[in-house]
Chains A and B, each alone.
Chain A
Amino acid sequence: DAGVTQSPTHLIKTRGQHVTLRCSPISGHKSVSWYQQVLGQGPQFIFQYYEKEERGRGNFPDRFSARQFPNYSSELNVNALLLGDSALYLCASSPRGGFNYGYTFGSGTRLTVV
């Protein structure tokens, strides 16, 4: 069975540009969450989606947005990129949202903003 797949694996963008990151959850998982991990820190929560609806949002500016599609895949969009957006972006899926369910992470997208 395929795990959580993320694309692309690496990306280099210029300040001010826009980026779209993609995530396909494990088959049967209906919840997708996005995390940002900068070097030397633990992942920071950005968004959670369940059944195509936003269930939670972390402390990130409005330049960050996301959506979930009918097949439960998800996109994370970041506008007006800043150097500080350089990070590993992780997607995690779970059968449902909530604290009773474990999360499976993808390998991430390494975004470098220059």
Chain B
Amino acid sequence: TQLLEQSPQFLSIQEGENLTVYCNSSSVFSSLQWYRQEPGEGPVLLVTVVTGGEVKKLKRLTFQFGDARKDSSLHITAAQPGDTGLYLCAVNDYKLSFGAGTTVTVRA
């Protein structure tokens, strides 16, 4: 059983559209991280959210941590082909425990 459940598994959209990916768990976390992984590369840390209800913005990316600290979402506004990649959420308790990821494809 995955500690973190990510949905959807795959997402394909046209350039300029918006998208949201989700990361859910039945457990409460002190913090949660989001990574993006491009083909042939390792994951790159995008953000760490630590406070229930917290919203963080990184250019066109908006990250939200649920009030109960059990879930998180990533919203991309006006997606671009450069946003294509595998989006992973992870819990960091000295080791990283990742969800299975959402593969996002943005078509030009």
Contact = CB atoms under 8 A, between A and B. Distances in A.
Given A42-B88, A99-B93, A4 B98 contact: no
Interface residues of B, number: 22
A103 B94 contact: no
B41 A107 contact: yes
Contacts of A44: 98
Interface stretch (A13-21, A72-80, A90-98): A90-98
B70 to A, nearest CB: 17
B44 A41 contact: no
Which secondary structure dominates chain A's binding surface? Answer: loop
A30 to B, nearest CB: 14
Given A42-B88, A99-B31, A105 B94 contact: no
Q: Report the contact-size class of chain A (Cβ under 8 Å from the partner).
A: 20 to 34
Nearest to B33: A102
Contacts of B93: 99
Interface of A: 4, 33, 35, 40-45, 48, 55-56, 58, 90, 92, 97-99, 102-108
12 contacts: A35-B96, A40-B100, A42-B98, A42-B99, A43-B88, A48-B95, A56-B94, A90-B43, A92-B42, A103-B45, A105-B41, A108-B41
Given A41-B101, A97-B94, A107-B41, 13 more contacts: A41-B100, A42-B88, A42-B98, A42-B99, A43-B88, A56-B95, A58-B95, A99-B94, A102-B45, A103-B45, A105-B43, A108-B40, A108-B42
